[in-house]
Chain A
Amino acid sequence: MIAASAAANPFIVDADQVFVLLRDWLVGFLPAALRPAAGAVLGVIAIVCVFPGLFALTTVFERKGLGRMQNRLGPNRVGPFGFFQPIADGIKSLTKEDIVPLRANAVVHFLAPLVLVATVFMGFAVLPMGRNMVLVDMDAGLLFFFAMGAATELSIFMAGWSSRNKYSLLGAMRAVAQMISYEVVLLLSSVSVVMISGSLSLSKIVAAQDQYSGVFPHWYIFTPWGLAGFLVFAIAATAETNRSPFDLPEGESELVAGYHIEYSGFKFALFFLGEYLAMFSISGLGTTLFLGGWSAPFSFLAWVPSWIWFFGKVMLFIFVFIWMRGTLPRLRQDQLMNFAWKFVLPFTLLNLVVTALWRFMGPGWSRWIVCSLILLAAYVVMGRLEMRSDHFGRRSYRYAE
Chain B
Amino acid sequence: MLGDGILKGLAETAKNFFLSYVSRERLTTVEYPEHRIPTAENARVFPFLVYDGPDWLAGMRCVACQICEKECPPKCIYIEKSSDKKPDYVGKQQFYPARFDIDISVCMSCQICVEVCPFEAIKMDTQFELATDDRFGGLLEDRRKLARSNEYYHSIHPAEAAEVDARLAEEKAKVEARAKAAAKAAASPAPAAATESAPPAKTEGGS
Q: Is the CB of A68 within 8 A of B1?
A: no
Q: Is the CB of A323 within 8 A of B29?
A: no
Q: Is the CB of B10 within 8 A of A327?
A: yes
Number of B residues near A (Cβ < 8 Å) is 18
Of residues 54 to 74 in A, which have CB atoms within 8 Å of B's CB atoms?
A: 65, 68-73
Q: Is the CB of A68 within 8 A of B2?
A: no
Q: Name the A residues within 8 Å of B31 (CB-CB).
A: 73
Contact with A along B2-19 (1 / 0, CB 8 A): 110010011011101100
Of residues 126 to 140 in A, which have CB atoms within 8 Å of B's CB atoms?
A: none
Asked if A72 meets B21 with Cβ closer than 8 Å, knowing A323-B10, A327-B6, A327-B9, the reply is no
Q: Name the A residues within 8 Å of B1 (CB-CB).
A: 379-380, 383
Q: Quick check: is A326 within 8 A (CB to CB) of the other chain? A: yes
Q: Quick check: is A32 within 8 A (CB to CB) of the other chain? A: no
Q: Quick check: is A387 within 8 A (CB to CB) of the other chain? A: yes
Q: Name the B residues within 8 Å of A72 (CB-CB).
A: 27, 29
Contact with B along A357-401 (1 / 0, CB 8 A): 000000000000000000000011011100100000000000000
Report the Cα distance A380→B28, complex, angstroms: 41
Q: Name the B residues within 8 Å of A68 (CB-CB).
A: 16-17, 20-21
Q: Quick check: is B135 within 8 A (CB to CB) of the other chain? A: no
Q: Quick check: is B92 within 8 A (CB to CB) of the other chain? A: no
Q: Is the CB of B16 within 8 A of A70?
A: yes
Report the Cα distance A71→B14, complex, angstroms: 11
Q: Is the CB of A328 within 8 A of B6?
A: yes
Q: Quick check: is B26 within 8 A (CB to CB) of the other chain? A: yes
Q: Is the CB of B13 within 8 A of A323?
A: yes
Minimum CB–CB distance from B43 to chain A (whole Å) comes to: 25
Q: Is the CB of A387 within 8 A of B2?
A: yes
Report the Cα distance A327→B31, complex, angstroms: 25
Minimum CB–CB distance from A381 to chain B (whole Å) comes to: 10
Please pick, from A65, A323, A324, A379, the residue contacting B2 in the complex, using a CB distance under 8 A: A379
Number of A residues near B (Cβ < 8 Å) is 19
Q: Is the CB of A326 within 8 A of B13?
A: yes
Minimum CB–CB distance from B34 to chain A (whole Å) comes to: 11
Q: Is the CB of B26 within 8 A of A71?
A: yes
Report the Cα distance A69→B28, complex, angstroms: 13
Q: Name the A residues within 8 Å of B26 (CB-CB).
A: 71
Q: Name the B residues within 8 Å of A380 (CB-CB).
A: 1-2
Minimum CB–CB distance from B129 to chain A (whole Å) comes to: 18
Report the Cα distance A382→B3, complex, angstroms: 12
Q: Name the A residues within 8 Å of B29 (CB-CB).
A: 72-73
Of residues 9 to 66 in B, which have CB atoms within 8 Å of A's CB atoms?
A: 9-10, 12-14, 16-17, 20-21, 26-29, 31
Report the Cα distance A379→B4, complex, angstroms: 13
Asked if A383 meets B16 with Cβ closer than 8 Å, knowing A71-B26, A327-B10, A328-B9, the reply is no
Minimum CB–CB distance from B49 to chain A (whole Å) comes to: 37
Report the Cα distance A207→B12, complex, angstroms: 38
Q: Name the B residues within 8 Å of A69 (CB-CB).
A: 13, 16-17
Q: Is the CB of B2 within 8 A of A327?
A: no
Report the Cα distance A382→B20, complex, angstroms: 38
Q: Name the A residues within 8 Å of B10 (CB-CB).
A: 323-324, 327
Minimum CB–CB distance from A218 to chain B (whole Å) comes to: 27
Q: Name the B residues within 8 Å of A326 (CB-CB).
A: 13, 17
Please pick, from A65, A324, A379, A387, the residue contacting B17 in the complex, using a CB distance under 8 A: A65
Q: Name the B residues within 8 Å of A384 (CB-CB).
A: 2
Closest to B23 in A: A71
Minimum CB–CB distance from B12 to chain A (whole Å) comes to: 7
Q: Name the A residues within 8 Å of B20 (CB-CB).
A: 68, 71
Q: Name the A residues within 8 Å of B6 (CB-CB).
A: 327-328
Please pick, from A70, A71, A383, the residue contacting B3 in the complex, using a CB distance under 8 A: A383
Report the Cα distance A134→B42, complex, angstroms: 67
Report the Cα distance A68→B12, complex, angstroms: 12
Minimum CB–CB distance from A156 to chain B (whole Å) comes to: 27
Closest to A69 in B: B13
Contact with B along A68-107 (1 / 0, CB 8 A): 1111110000000000000000000000000000000000
Q: Is the CB of B16 within 8 A of A323?
A: no
Of B13, B16, B26, B28, chain A has the most CB atoms within 10 Å of the CB of B13
Report the Cα distance A326→B12, complex, angstroms: 10
Q: Is the CB of B17 within 8 A of A327?
A: no
Report the Cα distance A215→B30, complex, angstroms: 49
Q: Is the CB of A73 within 8 A of B13?
A: no
Q: Is the CB of A71 within 8 A of B27?
A: yes
Minimum CB–CB distance from B18 to chain A (whole Å) comes to: 8
What are 26 contact pairs spanning A and B, CB under 8 A? Answer: A65-B17, A68-B16, A68-B20, A69-B13, A69-B16, A71-B26, A71-B28, A72-B27, A72-B29, A73-B31, A323-B10, A323-B13, A323-B17, A324-B10, A326-B13, A327-B6, A327-B9, A327-B10, A327-B12, A327-B13, A343-B2, A379-B1, A382-B2, A383-B1, A383-B2, A383-B3
